[in-house]
Every structure is written in structure tokens, then in C-alpha cells.
Amino acid sequence: MYLRRALRSLSSRTRFFGWRPESFLMEARAGTLLTSSSISKALGFRESFFWGSHGLHDIRYQIDQERNSPAEEPLDPFSLVADELFIIANRLRAMVVAEVPKLESAAEYFFKMGVEGKRFRPTVLLLMASALNMPLPHSVADGVFHSLPNELRSRQQCIAEITEMIHVASLLHDDVLDDAETRRGVGSLNFVMGNKLAVLAGDFLLSRACVALASLKNTEVVSLLATVVEHLVTGETMQMSTTSEQRCSMEYYLQKTYYKTASLISNSCKAIALLAGQTAEVPMLAYEYGRNLGLAFQLIDDVLDFTGTSASLGKGSLSDIRHGIITAPILFAIEEFPQLRELVERGFDNPEDVDVALDYLGKSRGIQRTKELAQEHANRAVKAIEALPYSDDEDIQTSRRALVDLTHRVVTRTK
């Protein structure tokens, strides 16, 4: 039964190469031994290609998942790395110490206990590090990382710290640009201390992140996370300087969303894999997981901006549309009600236009279609985890289950 289901999931992929899994299943029913050579022969291409594309891994992984899933207990991904999150939180507070007390007070504003947030990104990265804790290729296993696993984990924790500093810096700058008054349920830094200090605090966090990044002495990782900062700036500029045509373009919106949200988590996941010495496809699978998780996260954020309350979100609801920022729910609604486009082009400076747009949105499937798109990206993130090289290590499997669980939490969250 397990083999039948696993083969069915491979059907669409293998038909592309002209092979029909039904013949494979008939061979299994007849009692033929399904060796690597017989599989390769049935597929009609080289054995090395088949094994390189995780075909058999998918079968083994899905059989293992289906056998174990009924007995699996619910996971709390955050509790799995709670001890490390505590360590990282303390390190972050130590890393933002500054010579000027006022700058230090500003820089540590969102690192203080009680307002540090859920630490979603560090959680993802620590779980990814555990999920990739596999035997390395021989050429890498003979190197320093194989003999120094504790040092490797420390370096991966550093990626989590760098990612969180970049993230918080982007929040500080965004709040200035958006004239935000609240963040994480408290007054935003720009509202409490002023725009100038908020901008300088964000710059200070980026400089601290750069110092930590340089300490890793890995040029590929440095390049990845430097590109993330470039993407953050590019995405924010795209949001500020759109033409009327771009504002109504879903493609433009998704590209901007990748730059502003998904690039950070995707490239950080890839950095985790690179530091672990993983080569070829594994870093790209880590990247794909982060990319799709990030897009799903932002799509749900855009839904919550319409459906959530200020208290649940920790910031003002309807913030985007009141600032003239057009997101997926409105873009989908435009497809059903083209007259919305005129309101979008006007920019929502008139509060009455906001009310009219909300009325159209309520009549449309804009919210539902955005949730469906978020689910599509969540499913792609799950597939990336399932495509990782097979491991029967219990800790690795638990970490991968936790990463899958996070995709569900992202699309079902209400705040």
C-alpha cells in the first residue's frame, strides 16, 4: 500500500521521461526484485541520473512518513530550539551594545525581553541546520567541519543572529517610511524616539550584522546576505515608485514581495546549508523552502491586514491600503471588479475610496484566492523538505517534520 501511494506521487514526474509507473507496479506485484538496475532499465535512462534526482528517496521518505504519521505526536517547532533561541537572544542583546547610550537604547529596542517577537526566522534556521545534519560527501567530510560539529553549529547560530538583526533593521526603516505608530504591540521606535534615531539604529544593526558576517570568513555566504540587503532596498524602492500599471500587476507584486520578505529567509536557509558543507542540490532545496515559506508568510500577512485587528497584529490594521500599497487580496478583487482599478490609480488618499474598495473586496474572492496562493507556496516548501536526501536519523526527521509543521502554522495563523 505504501509503495503504491509513493509511486502514484512520482507519476507526473516520470511521465515526463516517457515512463509509466503502472508497469513498475506490475513488476512489483509479480514479485520481481526492484533493484537500482531494474528501475533504471524500466525508466530508460542512466541509473546515476535517477538516483541524483531523489526518485528512490521520495519512495523511501513517503513510505517512512506514512508508516510513522499515525503515531507521530504534535510538534512545537519553537520548543525544539527553545534553548538555542534563549542563547541567541542573549547574544543579540550583547551585540547591540553601543558607546552612545541613546543609540544603544534605540538599537536594543526590539531585542529587549517581552518585545523580541516570536523569533520566527531564527527558529526556521536552527531547524534547517538540524534537518541538514547529514553525512557529508567524502571531499567535504575530510575537512574541518566534519571534525568540529560544535563549531559548525555555532556558525549556523551566527547566521540566525545576523538574519534577525537584518530583519529588525528593515522593520525600523520600514516604520519610518510608513509613519507607523505601533510595532509588536508597543509604540514604534520612530514614534517613541523620532525618525532620525530610528534610521540610525537600523543602520547600526546592519553594521553589527556585517561585522558578524565577516567573522564567518565564507565569501559565498557573505555575498548571499549582502545581496539580501540589496534586495530589501530594491523591494522598498519598488513599493515607493510604482507606475499605475505596476501597481495592478500580480507579477510585480510577487517580485517586490520576494525582495522585501522572502529573500532574507531563503538566502539565510541556503547559507545554513553552505556552512554545513552541503553541495549541489541541497543548498538550493533549502533556498526553495525559505523562498516559498517567505512568500506564504507575506501573503497571509496581506490577508491579516484586512481581516485582523490592531490588537492581534501588534500594529494598525488596513495599514497598507491606507498608504496606497496594493497587495494580493485587492489585485485578485480587481480581476472580478475591474472598476476597482480606478480607485487604485487614485491612490486611496480619500478615505471614502478605502471604504468602497473594502466593499468590493468583501464581495470578491480576493481574500480566499490569496489564502489559496499562500497554500500553494506552503506546499512547495513542503516538497523542498521532502526532496532532501533521505535520512533515518530521528533528530533529522523530527527537524524536517517541524519545518513542515511551520508551513501549516504560517498559512493558518491569525496574527
Q: Which CATH number covers residue 341?
A: 1.10.600.10
**pLDDT at 392 exceeding the cut of 50:** yes
Q: Between residues 388 and 19, which one has the greater pLDDT? A: 388
pLDDT (average), residues 196-209: 91
| Cβ 266 vs Cβ 294: under 8 Å | yes
Q: Give, to the nearest 10 degrees, the angle between helix 394-412 and helix 120-131.
A: 150
> Which secondary-structure segment (H or E) carries 182?
strand 182-183
pLDDT (average), residues 182-199: 82
Q: Between residues 81 and 53, which one has the greater pLDDT? A: 81
289 — pLDDT class (breaks 50, 70, 90):
very high
Tell me what pLDDT residue 116 has. 61
Q: Model pTM? A: 0.77
Most confident of 138-142, 146-150, 361-365: 361-365
259 — pLDDT class (breaks 50, 70, 90):
very high
How far apart CA 327 and CA 309 sit, in angstroms, is: 18
Q: Between residues 113 and 276, which one has the greater pLDDT? A: 276
Tell me what pLDDT residue 324 has. 82
Q: Between residues 42 and 368, which one has the greater pLDDT? A: 368
Q: pLDDT, tens digit, for every residue of 45-71?
A: 333 333 344 444 444 444 444 444 444
Q: Between residues 277 and 348, which one has the greater pLDDT? A: 277
**Domains contained in the chain, number:** 1
Q: Between residues 227 and 55, which one has the greater pLDDT? A: 227
Range of the domain at 113: 2-412
Comparing 13-22, 297-306, 334-343, the range with the smallest average pLDDT is: 13-22
How far apart CA 273 and CA 284 sit, in angstroms, is: 9
Comparing 84-98, 112-126, 167-181, 331-345, the range with the smallest average pLDDT is: 112-126
Tell me what pLDDT residue 3 has. 40
Cα–Cα distances (Å) from 325 to 53, 188, 260, 304, 344, in that order, read 41, 20, 13, 14, 9
**CB 271: neighbour CB atoms within 10 A?**
33
**pLDDT at 96 exceeding the cut of 70:** yes
For the chain, the average pLDDT equals 79
**pLDDT at 27 exceeding the cut of 60:** no
How far apart CA 367 and CA 171 sit, in angstroms, is: 25
Tell me what pLDDT residue 284 has. 97
| Cβ 265 vs Cβ 121: under 8 Å | yes
11 — pLDDT class (breaks 50, 70, 90):
very low
pLDDT (average), residues 253-273: 97
Tell me what pLDDT residue 179 has. 76
Give the total residue count for the chain: 415
**pLDDT at 6 exceeding the cut of 80:** no
Comparing 34-38, 69-73, 82-86, 336-340, the range with the smallest average pLDDT is: 34-38
> Which secondary-structure segment (H or E) carries 187?
strand 186-187
Sign of the torsion formed by the C-alpha atoms of 188, 190, 192 and 193: positive
Sign of the torsion formed by the C-alpha atoms of 316, 318, 319 and 323: negative
How far apart CA 101 and CA 62 sit, in angstroms, is: 55
How far apart CA 274 and CA 280 sit, in angstroms, is: 10
